[in-house]
Amino acid sequence: MERRDFIKTGAFGFTIPGSLMNADKLKANINPIIISTWNFGLPANDIAMEVLLKGGNAMDAAEAGARHAEADSKNSSVGFGGLPDENGHVTLDACVMDSRGNAGSVAFLQNIQHPVSVARKVMEETKHVMLVGEGARQFAISKGFKETNLLTEKSKKEWKAWQKERRTMTPHETHDTLSVLAQDAKGNLAGACTTSGWAYKMHGRVGDSPIIGAGLYVDNEIGSSAATGLGEEVIKTTGSFLVVELMRQGYSPIDACKEALDRIIKSHNGKPDFQIGYIALRKDGKVGVACLKWEFEYAIARGEENKLYKVKGLI
Ligand code: ASP
């Protein structure tokens, strides 16, 4: 019964309709907590936690954490300094979701350093959920965002070197996403997700990170989840939504992440050759993490403590 630790099952182990997780079964955790992907999640957590400890809300915290990675030129998979597409253009994807179920997203955005903040503006100041490409850029400029060249000398050099061989990079070699899941002192949940995507991707390619339900999903009654890794596979399985829905069905956060990955393993005959990692944060403050292969690093901050952890792949 551990796997579905809240679920009521009948004599044959079937889920009894109506026994799904709901708000009354999960007492909200009110000790601020942040969980973020990869080692750049550590500094992101520091900044996000500062927001929470000053009484800020989960959305402000998640956005602040994501902005830190976007501004860091040493990080070659998010924002400024991100590796470009095959034509040398840095194109960014990001999304946010708040505790009221509102969502905002931008995809294929160029020359704007903070896609996560543009996504938040889409959520809060438009009737839409998603803006892409040139429209997203124009919207950002209309909201006061400054245009910047996001291709650093270092990333340009790497792209030029890649052009000589034009080898298809395996996703885990060249890209990562910063996803931040936050819970504030009121127990409310929010999340943010930001990336420059698969390095040397086709011009126009968009991954899972700006797709609500794929790269990120937040349900303030149940929990939140976010993804990193091969976006195409996360989109095809609506990964983050699936993790949250599995938690709703009673799966623990870690088992929800594992089950979502199991489906991908099965659809690749047990041998996927790419990486995907999920992080999950349930309403009661319980976290879960799992990845397909190799190792996956993630950072958890609780109050003053902020630590990096590693999880081994399922296969
Ligand atoms: N999920 C991102 C994408 O496919 C990149 C990553 O997290 O590795 O664009």
DSSP string, 19-67: -S--GGGSPPP-S-EEEEESTTHHHHHHHHHHHHHTT--HHHHHHHHHH
The reported pLDDT for the residue numbered 5 is 44
1-15, 46-60, 69-83, 257-271: which has the minimum mean pLDDT? 1-15
What type of residue sits at position 295? Answer: E
CATH 3.60.20.30 corresponds to the domain 3-312: yes
The reported pLDDT for the residue numbered 19 is 54
Q: Whose CA is nearest to atom 9 of ligand 1?
A: 197
* Cα(66) to centroid(ligand 1), Å: 15
The reported pLDDT for the residue numbered 73 is 86
* Cα(169) to centroid(ligand 1), Å: 13
Instruction: Flag whether pLDDT at 214 surpasses 80.
Output: yes
Q: Is there a contact between 253 and 247 (Cβ–Cβ < 8 Å)?
A: yes
CA distance linking residue 44 with residue 265, whole number of Å: 30
Kindly indicate the confidence band of residue 12, based on its pLDDT and cuts at 50, 70 and 90. very low
Q: Where are the domains of the chain?
A: 3-312
CA-205 nearest atom, ligand 1: 9
CB count in 10 Å sphere of residue 267? 12
Q: For residue 202, count CB atoms less than 10 angstroms from its CB and return exposed for 0-12, middle for 13-18, buried for 19 or more.
A: exposed
Kindly indicate the confidence band of residue 176, based on its pLDDT and cuts at 50, 70 and 90. confident
* Cα(80) to centroid(ligand 1), Å: 16
* Residue whose CB lies within 8 A of the most ligand 1 atoms, among 209, 216, 237, 276, for a mutation test: 209
- Mean pLDDT, all residues of the chain: 92
CA-197 nearest atom, ligand 1: 9
Catalytic entry in 174, 177, 228, 237: 177
Instruction: Flag whether pLDDT at 15 surpasses 60.
Output: no
Percent of the chain with pLDDT over 90: 84
CA distance linking residue 182 with residue 220, whole number of Å: 11
Instruction: Flag whether pLDDT at 175 surpasses 80.
Output: no
Percent of the chain with pLDDT over 70: 90
Ligand 1 first shell, C-beta below 6 A:
171, 175-177, 195, 197-198, 207-209, 228-231
CA distance linking residue 312 with residue 133, whole number of Å: 36
| Nearest CA-CA partner of 102 in 191, 235, 180, 223 | 191
Q: What is the mean pLDDT of residues 135-145?
A: 98
Tokens of 52: 């929470």
- Parallel, antiparallel, or unpaired: how do β-strands 305-312 and 287-291 relate? unpaired
CB count in 10 Å sphere of residue 61? 31
Kindly indicate the confidence band of residue 7, based on its pLDDT and cuts at 50, 70 and 90. very low
Kindly indicate the confidence band of residue 166, based on its pLDDT and cuts at 50, 70 and 90. confident
| Nearest CA-CA partner of 105 in 19, 21, 191 | 191
**242-283 pLDDT tens trace:** 999 999 999 999 999 999 999 999 999 999 999 999 999 999
* Cα(77) to centroid(ligand 1), Å: 9
Q: Respond yes or no: is residue 177 known to be catalytic.
A: yes
CA distance linking residue 91 with residue 206, whole number of Å: 9
